[in-house]
Amino acid sequence: MKKVFLTEHIHEDAVAYLKERFEVVQGTSVEPEEIIRQAQGCSAILIRSAKITAEVMDAIPTLQVVAKHGMGVDNIDVEHATEKGILVVNAPFSNLNAVAEHIVMLLIALSKRTVRMDKLTRAGRFAQRNAYKTIELKGSTVGIIGMGKISRLVVKKLSGFEMNIIASDPFVKQEDVKDLPVTMVTAEEVYSKSDFVIVHTSLFPSTFHLVGEKEFKMMKPTAFIINAARGPVIDEAAMIEALQSGEIAGAGLDVFEQEPPASDNPLFAMEQTIVSPHNAALSDGALRAMAMDSAQGITEYLTGKPVTYPVNGDVLK
């Protein structure tokens, strides 16, 4: 019986599904040397945050498929996997709604200063309610950098707020989103015109520090930035400087350039930031869907069935 290695714990339904078909080996560490030691003889590896490097792949000669519990595969060396004929699969639709809802939550919380108002009220500073103005979403402009699946769902969810929605993506034309209430513009227009900038792109070498000092200087001093994609898409040091200098008004962040972030990260001491621990996708429904879809990809490949969500489809040719 073929063996499947789980680097981290996944939903029990997916574990049961895999155990009906394979021998399942539960890992105890995400350290590369431990993955290499514990996954010997395994045909598949299913990962969450663990990194599957070229070194790991080369050290497990039986490896045929790597499955990502979720959409982003920046923690897998896909190029090396392709060179070795190892298939990479993911779960690209499993957490879309959970992440989109989280982005909208961050936007609303920033506009209404929710966290700050909560702290003031709990501290008995009720009278200070007059010291802070909140922002009505109606009539304000939200700009989105990257118009993938999650961003398109965000547009649908924000449409009911009567906002002006603009977006920029070099690979998306207006006709591609003609059914959505969004206007495609240049990236410069997104930064300069938006009251809220949502950055949602995958992490590639081309998108590393996509948003930096230049982009923050384009933004309004009253504007907020939101990131629930990948931390390194934004130059965090430049963002901290922009927040400290008042170049932008605030930030809503679910991701950080270093994860977990250092406890003394300056972002944590700022009243104008709202942060969460990269948990946008961790709803009950999304956790099950991510686990089941990635387990399904392993099963399809190892049993010779058509693969629903291949990342490096050339391996299948």
Report, as residue numbers or ranges, the catalytic residues. 230, 259, 278
In contact, 156 and 172? CB cutoff 8 Å: no
Burial category of 311 from C-beta neighbours within 10 Å (exposed 0-12, middle 13-18, buried 19 and up): buried
The residues facing 167 across adjacent strands are: 144, 184
Instruction: Count the Cβ atoms, other than its own, within 10 Å of residue 138.
Output: 9
One-letter-per-residue 3-state SS of the chain: CCEEEECCCCCHHHHHHHHCCCEEEECCCCCHHHHHHHCCCCCEEEECCCCECHHHHHCCCCCCEEEECCCCCCCECHHHHHHHCCEEECCCCCCHHHHHHHHHHHHHHHHCCHHHHHHHHHCCCHHHHHHCCCCCCCCCEEEEECCCHHHHHHHHHHHHHCCEEEEECCCCCHHHHCCCCCEECCHHHHHHHCCEEEECCCCCHHHCCCECHHHHHHCCCCCEEEECCCHHHECHHHHHHHHHHCCCCEEEECCCCCCCCCCCCHHHHCCCEEECCCCCCCCHHHHHHHHHHHHHHHHHHHCCCCCCCECCHHHHC
Two structure tokens written together for 264: 């003394």
Q: How far apart are CA 215 and CA 234, in angstroms?
A: 10
